[in-house]
Chains A and B, each alone.
Chain A
Amino acid sequence: MDQADDEALIELCRTGQDDAAFAALIDRYKDFVHALVYRMARDRAKVEDLAQDVFLKVHRGLPYFRGDAKVATWIYRIVFNVCAQDRARPRVEVPLDREGGGPPLDPGRVDTAFADLELRDRLDKAMSELPDNYRFLVAAHYLRGVQYDALAEALDIPIGTVKTHLHRAKRMLREKLSR
């Protein structure tokens, strides 16, 4: 997504008298935001509402967007905040069990289609148990290859910390899957 186009769109959103510019901004980011929220949200039924919340916050934040960060990075940060706020609410615990998940992961079987599906399902559950920042890093990095520098800017941490946290998050996933 081109940063110059994004900034022009933001300016149009601020000065426009109708919603056309903001609709264009939504169209540009909706799939990415929805997919990222889908991977971040603990409750799949709330994904669309949370994705809408992200754009409502973008809309309310327009007058305050100073352009210090890229528009995409700003939106990543809002996604992170919206999902973290949602996860902070009281929840019904869903245990990470093996019900329907089969035996412990056998690396020799991982190349079969069934094992891939099973792994994906268990990985989803394991992801839901990661801390918010780790979960966000894994979700965003593997979604569209969001680069380390953008993640670092969105979470306001050094790039080295992003890499360390990403490796640590994957280690946690591996340990959960190997139990």
Chain B
Amino acid sequence: MAMTCEQVLESIEAVAAGDEPADAAFDAHLAGCPSCAAALATARAIERTLASSPAVGAPERFSQSVLARIRRDRWREEQQVDRAFHAAIGIAIVAMLAAAVSLWNLSGVVRLVLLAIETMSEVSQASAEPGTNHPILALGLPAALFATALAVWWWAERRSPYDAGGDGGAQA
């Protein structure tokens, strides 16, 4: 059965690539159709050119450059963790100073001791009422911040070199 130009052009790439054989009807059409014959010649030229295109390999120091970028990224991440740690330490110190100033009054140490004794006796009771300047709250918050800072530091130090975080858009 005779083939039309449309049918021939549909399978030209497959024939040029060797994925499909050229049958008698295909060949017969090409013999009488210069346009389709030219298309097949072009398809074969494209096939040949693609197959013979040179592969441009990586430059000589490519691996070192990649490793340098990885170290640079890692260093930046560590810098960010360090900044967070220093900020937490700073906030904790400021909060402790604020707590100390707020506790300081004319009765001084005596009152502080009394408050501490009172606090010890109330330690098993419920938390302080809202608005009360309770030493546990005054000191607990900065202490918690300080503990958080230490936890951040511990977490940052124990991470392995490859726990960089993020999937890089590449999970498999």
Question: Once bound together, how far apart are the Cα atoms of A171 and B50, in whole Å?
Answer: 13
Interface size on A, residues (CB 8 A): 64
Q: Which A residues from 14 to 54 make CB contacts under 8 A with B? A: 14, 16-19, 22-23, 26-27, 30-35, 38-39, 47-48, 51-52
Residue of B with least CB distance to A171: B13
Judge whether A58 is part of the interface by a CB distance below 8 angstroms: yes
Q: Report yes or no: A81 in contact with B170, Cβ–Cβ below 8 A.
A: yes
Q: Report yes or no: A64 in contact with B171, Cβ–Cβ below 8 A.
A: yes
Per DSSP, are chain A's interface residues mostly helix, strand or loop, or mixed? helix
Q: Report yes or no: A61 in contact with B168, Cβ–Cβ below 8 A.
A: yes
CB within 8 A of B57: which of A26, A34, A105, A123? A34
List, in ascending order, chain B residues with CB within 8 A of A107's CB. Answer: 37-38, 41-42, 45
1/0 per residue B43-58: CB within 8 Å of A?
1011101110101111
Q: Report yes or no: A123 in contact with B49, Cβ–Cβ below 8 A.
A: yes
Q: Report yes or no: A64 in contact with B167, Cβ–Cβ below 8 A.
A: yes
CB of A131, distance to nearest CB on chain B (Å): 16
CB of B19, distance to nearest CB on chain A (Å): 7
Judge whether B96 is part of the interface by a CB distance below 8 angstroms: no
Question: Once bound together, how far apart are the Cα atoms of A142 and B53, in whole Å?
Answer: 8
List, in ascending order, chain B residues with CB within 8 A of A59's CB. Answer: 70, 162, 164, 168
Residue of A with least CB distance to B59: A48
Question: Once bound together, how far apart are the Cα atoms of A69 and B171, in whole Å?
Answer: 10
Q: Report yes or no: A58 in contact with B12, Cβ–Cβ below 8 A.
A: no
Q: Report yes or no: B45 in contact with A163, Cβ–Cβ below 8 A.
A: no
Q: Report yes or no: B69 in contact with A167, Cβ–Cβ below 8 A.
A: no
Binding site for B on A (CB under 8 A): 13-14, 16-19, 22-23, 26-27, 30-35, 38-39, 47-48, 51-52, 55-69, 73-74, 77-78, 81, 105, 107-108, 110, 116, 119-120, 123, 138, 142-144, 163, 166-168, 170-171, 173-174, 177-178
Judge whether B166 is part of the interface by a CB distance below 8 angstroms: yes
A-B contact pairs, 26 of them (CB 8 A): A19-B161, A23-B63, A26-B62, A27-B63, A30-B57, A31-B55, A48-B59, A51-B58, A52-B69, A56-B69, A57-B169, A60-B168, A61-B169, A64-B171, A73-B172, A78-B168, A78-B169, A110-B41, A167-B14, A167-B19, A170-B16, A170-B47, A171-B13, A174-B43, A174-B46, A177-B42
Question: Once bound together, how far apart are the Cα atoms of A118 and B163, in whole Å?
Answer: 49
Question: Once bound together, how far apart are the Cα atoms of A95 and B148, in whole Å?
Answer: 58
Per DSSP, are chain B's interface residues mostly helix, strand or loop, or mixed? helix
Judge whether B17 is part of the interface by a CB distance below 8 angstroms: yes
Question: Once bound together, how far apart are the Cα atoms of A120 and B45, in whole Å?
Answer: 10
Q: Report yes or no: A63 in contact with B69, Cβ–Cβ below 8 A.
A: no
Question: Once bound together, how far apart are the Cα atoms of A177 and B53, in whole Å?
Answer: 17
